[in-house]
Amino acid sequence: MPEFSPWHDNSFTHSSPHNEPAPCRRISEDPEFHSLRRAQRRFGVRATVLSVGGFLLYVLLSHSVPGLMNQRLLGNLTLGLALGLGQFVVMGVTAWCYVRHMRTRVDPLARGLGSRLDQHEANSLRSAAHRGESAQTVQPGSRGYRTW
């Protein structure tokens, strides 16, 4: 099993300063990580094009064809007002689709990758304890990701 490090310097939070770093590969080099990013990016581009494109179309229609946008549909409801309210519907549907996509396609990949990283950390702790090296105790799954 390849060794992964979530940190930019390929270090682990439980490594002792006296230990030599284990040969590890950045997690961003893993093919599963690339498929995770691809799935997220592919949907994100489509959702952005749909949402921003719809809004830009609405603005361009409002500017270029005000007569069409002022057409009355029902009572005081105009086509422009209906399309403007439709923007809220488009954003809501886009957000719902995004959440559904993340739950069904991206989250399972991320959980699998995270469990592999947790397993690697647990194996590293076990091997360090077996060799008699002092290592800080870190529970698997408590990597404590750095903030921006």
**Interval 53-105: pLDDT, tens:** 999 999 999 999 999 999 999 999 999 999 999 999 999 999 999 999 989 88
Q: How far does Cα 86 stand from its chain's mean position?
A: 27
Res 68: pLDDT: 93
At 13-48, the pLDDT tens digits run 444 445 444 455 667 777 888 888 888 888 889 999
The pLDDT of 1-8, averaged and rounded, is 51
Res 20: pLDDT: 46
66: which 2 tokens?
């005000």
CA distances from 41 to 13, 22, 44 (A): 29, 32, 5
Res 60: pLDDT: 95
CA-based torsion, 27, 144, 97, 108: positive or negative: positive
CA-based torsion, 4, 7, 11, 14: positive or negative: negative
At 106-116, the pLDDT tens digits run 888 888 888 88
Over 80: is that where the pLDDT of 145 sits? Answer: no
Res 80: pLDDT: 93
What is the band of 142 on the pLDDT scale with cuts at 50, 70, 90? Answer: low
The domain limits of the chain are 26-121
Spatial CA neighbour of 117 closest among 109, 86, 59: 109
